[in-house]
Structure formats: structure tokens, C-alpha cells
């Protein structure tokens, strides 16, 4: 496996000198057609020059045809349609670090609500005080169309690494300029929306856009608000001016810690921790991987953990959008130095669709070195992804191109899965959220067994792990991203149980591995070995026979056949075990 460059290279934004001086007064609507053509061609050139492999998902021919079609259509398009077309073109790469960012204040036209996608629909998580009655309302229709249709169209403007990341990237639906470009908003930017209020009554409202503030002139993209927690609003006024659906209080409330709120809402800033003595737990929320305060906060938290020795240590990365991945090594050393006798009994790491970029490096460090249980949804990226985006400025259009410049490989090179593995699915509904229920944390605090199947096997053996596996398999129905533990993971558990001379528990775990992965010959070979170690040597011949049938050219087979012959056995007379995929 190639060395994990992501652990030594920071996932940071690399600023590139601008081609032309930027002025806040520049109006992109004044750009003529030749400017659009020239900048489109430059954008395509820069993508091909910077990205390590831009066409892994779309294919070069398809991408170039889309670029040519956009260039041909430019004369017939409005400025809003052209921006939408550019954003869709770059987003088609399927890379969450590559996209078109809007910089000009001319684009900052916002609807005064913030919408988030939950498992049970689209809901307003924060509303400007001018429409505070919409906080907590369910969005049913936009522009007379089903909300799913409109939001899915809006998602085509933002690059995403997987389907979970795509669920999060619905920001364009909040912007009147882009909604005009997609054909949903009126000429004045207004759009008709239909809501179901908290009392169940339907609300029809024409949403008028508001010209938003444009940061502080530091060239921040106008969509940077999406990095902040869902309780906060868009760049209209300040957090004091927004009402959170959770608690119907000012969004500014969540800038101060309050232990009367559930842990996930205790403080919605960069970092937060809480000792929960009644559940013998410590909860740590990490919402950004900052290069200055991240590791010191981890150290302070671990000092608390050292002191209270909790049964459960919960690390919440569900809203960690990234930052600087180079600090992951320094962070994980703090955990490694406390092994093998850790001050916690069970370690859990929570992931979700917003777990992204440098947070993936942090997550990988935990997986590689701390044996956590992963709970939640898969992260917004797999462990192999593109990042470290470079910038190219297009001041005449008020745009910035961001393009990934490096490939980060933290899984085997042939791992093409778009998802990380999750041990226990935990999906948020709005009903959970609004009532302060956390499907990932609450079961732990109630004392339910949320450990991973391998960790249950290590603790209690394969029979207990089998019960958990069957329960989770049933609960994960419909989640195409959930999968059971990998064969190699359970094999290592078997080996560890043998080393600890827990032979019967090793047999149980190896048997479970054959049930989950019957088509992999290693599982049957390891089951045979565990039976031998458990003084059940006569039982080993049946799984060995399965190995000879499944992998007759395997280098172990001659030794297996020789051992059978020495024992006076004929392989054809040995019954194949139940579940062997070649059983006759």
C-alpha cells in the first residue's frame, strides 16, 4: 500500500495569485460574451492542468462535450444561467474539493431561511426573525414543484464525493440568483414556497430575496456559511437575528455552552466536551480540524478522561468539515500513548455526511490506531479522495475555480467504495432532532450495546457477536452503504482470541466469519486452525476439505492433503461443512 501522504501533507487551501486585480465593485453581469468564452476555456484548461485525474467519474469525452455544449449555448443564456452552467460543469467531476465558488456581492441574494435534509424530509432549521414562524416548518414545494425535484437540481451545482456528501450540498436552493439560473425564481428573485408548519397547517409564502453581507472583503466565498452549524442562518444580519428550530430561541444562544441541552446541542462552535457521570461517559464534539487549537483541546479532554476513567468515550465528527490534516499524527499519538490499558473502556467515533476533508485523515488515524466503533452515517468522502485544492480567480465573472491538486490514499489502491465502513447505522430524523434525541449517542447513554461486532467478539466471543450481527443486519435494511465486518478484520479477532488462549470463543468467531464471508477460502482455513487449537482436531477436516474444493491451486492445499493422508483419511470421504459454497 502506498504511503499515506495525507498524514504528512496538510489539507489546506492553496492560494494562487490572481490573473487580474479583484475589486468588490466589479459587476459580473457586465461581462460580455467573449469574456465568458475565454474564462470557460481557461477553467477547462486549469482543471486538466491541476487535477491529478479529473475524469475518473465522468470520462474525458463526456466532460469535453458538456463544455463545448455550454460554450455554444452561452449567447442565448442569462448571466444566472451561465453561472449555473459553469457550476454544473465543474461539479460533474464528482469531486467535493473541486467547484466554482461565487465571490461577488452581486450574487449574495438570499432567502431568509436555512433548509436541511433529514431522513423524514426537508425542514427549516433556522429562520430569520422576519419569518420566524417558519422555523421548524417542513418544506413541501418550491416554485410549484416537489421539494425533492428542486433540491436535487440544486445539488447538481456542487461537486460531491459520494451520495451522502451530495445530500448535504443543497446550498444553491437558498440563493435567488442561482434559483433564477435554474428557472425556479421569478425575475425579481422571489419564489413561491409551500410549508407544513409545526402545527400541521399548510403555509404558502412568497419568499423575497435579501441582499446579504459579503464577509469582510477577504475574498471569502459567499457560501461559506454552510460550514457553520444548522442553527445559524445565512449572511443576513447576525446570529442574533436568526431563530433556531431547536428550542425556538435565537441562534446566538448556541454560542454559549449549556449542559441542560442534549450533548449534541450543548455548544455549536468548533469544539465542545462534556462529562456525563450518570452514564459514565465523556462526549467530545469536534466540528473543525484547526491547526492551532485542535490538538491542545484533545490533550485537555484526555486529561479529563484520564481522571474520570469513563466506560464510554464518544468522539463526534459528524459536523467536522475539515481544516488541516497534518495534525492527525500529533493527535493520535495522545491516544496511542494510553494503550493498551486505556482510561476508557469503549471508544466510539461518530461520522456523518458532513465529515469531510481533513476530518477524514483524523478518522483514518482513529481506525488505524485506536480500534473504535464507528456509529452514524458514512462520512461525506471515502478514505481515497482528491483534495488540497488550488484556486484560480476569475474576477471579471466574480468567480473562483477550486481544483483538487492531490490524491489522498488512506485505503488500498483498489478500494473503489465511495463509503467508509459504519459499524452501527444511526440516522437522524427531524422529529429526533427537534426533540433533542440523538440516535447515535442516546443508546450508548442508555446502556445499550453499541460496540462493533469485532469488539463484541473480542470481549465476549463469536456467539455474542453473531446475535449483534443479525440484529444489525435487520436494522440496516435499505442502507446500501452498510456492510458487515470485513473478513480480514474478523480473522484478526480470531487470531487474537487464539493468542489469549480463548479457544472456544475463537472457534465461535471463526465460524461467524464463514457465515458472513463463505466465499472467501481463508475463513474456512482459519476455522480449521481454531478447531485444532481448541483440541477439536477431528472436526477440522471438514472445513479443510472446503478449502481444497474452493481453492485447489492454493499453496496450503498440498499440506492439507498430506495431513489427511497421514491421518488415514480420503478427502472425498470427508463431508463438506454446512455453508461451504461448493457443497454438493
pLDDT for 221 equals 83
More confident call, 23 vs 562: 562
* pLDDT greater than 60 at residue 216: no
- Compute the average pLDDT of residues 223-245: 94
CATH class of 261-384+413-457: alpha beta
Residues 283, 274 contacting (CB under 8 angstroms): yes
> Could you write out the three-class secondary structure of 435-453?
CCCCCCCHHHHHCCCCCCH
CATH class of 471-573: mainly alpha
Helical segments of 138-246, H only: 147-155, 163-168, 176-181
Going by C-alpha positions, the residue among 214, 172, 217, 207 that lies closest to residue 80 is 172
More confident call, 11 vs 483: 483
Lowest mean pLDDT among 6-10, 227-231, 359-363, 441-445: 6-10
Specify the DSSP element, H or E, that contains 285.
Answer: strand 281-286
pLDDT band at residue 26 under the 50/70/90 scheme:
low
More confident call, 24 vs 309: 309
Helix pair angle (541-550, 521-533), 10° resolution:
160
* pLDDT greater than 80 at residue 244: yes
- Compute the average pLDDT of residues 310-330: 96
pLDDT for 219 equals 57
Chain Cα centroid distance, residue 155 = 16
In this structure, the dihedral spanned by the alpha carbons of residues 561, 564, 568 and 569, taken in order and rounded to 10 degrees, is -90
Q: Which three cell numbers stand for residue 150?
A: 428542486
Specify the DSSP element, H or E, that contains 349.
Answer: strand 346-351
pLDDT for 19 equals 37
- Compute the average pLDDT of residues 190-215: 91
End-to-end CA distance of the chain: 38
* pLDDT greater than 60 at residue 557: yes
- Compute the average pLDDT of residues 423-447: 97
Going by C-alpha positions, the residue among 387, 398, 125 that lies closest to residue 249 is 125
Integer CA distances (angstroms), 153 to 5, 87, 115, in order: 35, 12, 15
pLDDT for 212 equals 84
The 10 Å Cβ neighbour count of residue 320 is 29
Going by C-alpha positions, the residue among 330, 485, 398, 502 that lies closest to residue 24 is 398
Q: Which three cell numbers stand for residue 123?
A: 425542514
pLDDT for 27 equals 74
In whole angstroms, what is the distance from residue 410 CA to residue 2 CA?
A: 8
In whole angstroms, what is the distance from residue 315 CA to residue 449 CA?
A: 17
* pLDDT greater than 60 at residue 9: no
pLDDT for 156 equals 98
In whole angstroms, what is the distance from residue 71 CA to residue 274 CA?
A: 54
pLDDT for 11 equals 36
In whole angstroms, what is the distance from residue 394 CA to residue 20 CA?
A: 8
Q: Which three cell numbers stand for residue 127?
A: 429562520
Domain boundaries, the chain: 261-384+413-457, 471-573
Per residue in 527-543, pLDDT (tens digit) is: 999 999 999 999 999 99
pLDDT band at residue 214 under the 50/70/90 scheme:
low
Per residue in 378-402, pLDDT (tens digit) is: 999 999 999 999 999 999 999 999 9
pLDDT for 30 equals 81
pLDDT for 583 equals 59
Exposure string (b/e) for 118-136, b if CB count within 10 Å is 16 or more?
beebbbbbbbbbebbebbb
Amino acid at each position: 500500500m502506498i504511503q499515506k501522504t495525507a498524514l504528512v501533507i496538510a489539507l489546506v487551501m492553496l492560494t494562487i495569485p490572481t490573473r487580474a486585480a479583484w475589486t468588490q465593485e466589479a459587476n459580473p453581469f457586465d461581462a460580455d460574451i467573449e469574456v465568458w468564452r475565454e474564462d470557460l476555456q481557461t477553467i477547462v484548461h486549469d482543471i486538466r492542468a491541476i487535477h491529478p485525474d479529473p475524469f475518473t467519474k465522468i470520462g474525458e469525452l463526456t466532460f469535453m462535450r458538456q463544455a463545448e455544449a455550454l460554450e455554444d449555448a452561452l449567447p442565448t443564456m442569462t448571466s444566472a444561467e451561465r453561472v449555473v452552467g459553469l457550476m454544473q460543469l465543474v461539479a460533474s467531476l464528482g469531486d467535493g474539493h473541486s467547484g466554482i465558488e461565487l465571490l461577488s456581492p452581486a450574487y449574495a441574494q438570499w432567502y431568509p431561511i436555512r433548509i436541511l435534509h433529514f431522513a423524514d424530509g426537508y425542514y427549516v432549521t433556522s429562520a430569520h426573525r422576519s419569518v420566524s414562524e417558519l422555523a421548524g416548518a417542513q418544506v413541501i414545494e418550491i416554485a410549484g414543484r416537489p421539494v425533492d425535484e428542486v433540491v436535487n437540481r440544486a445539488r447538481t451545482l456542487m461537486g460531491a464525493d459520494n451520495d451522502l456528501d451530495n445530500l448535504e450540498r443543497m446550498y444553491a436552493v437558498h440563493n435567488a440568483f442561482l434559483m433564477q439560473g435554474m428557472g425556479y425564481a421569478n425575475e425579481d428573485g422571489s419564489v413561491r414556497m409551500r410549508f407544513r408548519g409545526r402545527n400541521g397547517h399548510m403555509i404558502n409564502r412568497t419568499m423575497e430575496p435579501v441582499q446579504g453581507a459579503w464577509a469582510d472583503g477577504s475574498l471569502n466565498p459567499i457560501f461559506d456559511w454552510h460550514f457553520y452549524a444548522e442553527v445559524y442562518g445565512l449572511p443576513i444580519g447576525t446570529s442574533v437575528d436568526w431563530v433556531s428550530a431547536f428550542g425556538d430561541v435565537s441562534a446566538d444562544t448556541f454560542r454559549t455552552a449549556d449542559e441542560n441541552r442534549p450533548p449534541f446541542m450543548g455548544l455549536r462552535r468548533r469544539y465542545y466536551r462534556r462529562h456525563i457521570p450518570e452514564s459514565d461517559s465523556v462526549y467530545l464534539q469536534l466540528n473543525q480540524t484547526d491547526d492551532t487549537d485542535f490538538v491542545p483541546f484533545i490533550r485537555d479532554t484526555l486529561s479529563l478522561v484520564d481522571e474520570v476513567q469513563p466506560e464510554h468515550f464518544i468522539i463526534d465528527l459528524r459536523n467536522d468539515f475539515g481544516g488541516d490534516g497534518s495534525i492527525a499524527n500529533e493527535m493520535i499519538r495522545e491516544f496511542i500513548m494510553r494503550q493498551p490499558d486505556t482510561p476508557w473502556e469503549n471508544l466510539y467515533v461518530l461520522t456523518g455526511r458532513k465529515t469531510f476533508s481533513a476530518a477524514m485523515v483524523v478518522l483514518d488515524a482513529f481506525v488505524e490506531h485506536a480500534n473504535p466503533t464507528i456509529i452514524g452515517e458514512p462520512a461525506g468522502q471515502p478514505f481515497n479522495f482528491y483534495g488540497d485544492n488550488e484556486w484560480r480567480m476569475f474576477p471579471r465573472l466574480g468567480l473562483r475555480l477550486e481544483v483538487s491538486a492531490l490524491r489522498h490514499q488512506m485505503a488500498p489502491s483498489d478500494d473503489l467504495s465511495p463509503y467508509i465502513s459504519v459499524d452501527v447505522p444511526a440516522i437522524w430524523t427531524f422529529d429526533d432532532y427537534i426533540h433533542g434525541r440523538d440516535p447515535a449517542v442516546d443508546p450508548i447513554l442508555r446502556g445499550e450495546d453499541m460496540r462493533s461486532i469485532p469488539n463484541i467478539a473480542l470481549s465476549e466471543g463469536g456467539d455474542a457477536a453473531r446475535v449483534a450481527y443479525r440484529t444489525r443486519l435487520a436494522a440496516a435494511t435499505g442502507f446500501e452503504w452498510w456492510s458487515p465486518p470485513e473478513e480480514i478484520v474478523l480473522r484478526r479477532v480470531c487470531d487474537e482470541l487464539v493468542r489469549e488462549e480463548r479457544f472456544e470463543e475463537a472457534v465461535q468467531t471463526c465460524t461467524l466469519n464463514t457465515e458472513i464471508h463463505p466465499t472467501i477460502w481463508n475463513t474456512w482455513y482459519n476455522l480449521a486452525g481454531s478447531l485444532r487449537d481448541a483440541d477439536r482436531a477431528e472436526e477440522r477436516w471438514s472445513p479443510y476439505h472446503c478449502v481444497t474444493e474452493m481453492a485447489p491451486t492454493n499453496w496450503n492445499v498440498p499440506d492439507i492433503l498430506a495431513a489427511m493422508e497421514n491421518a488415514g483419511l480420503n478427502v472425498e470421504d470427508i463431508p463438506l461443512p454446512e455453508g461451504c459454497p461448493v457443497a454438493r
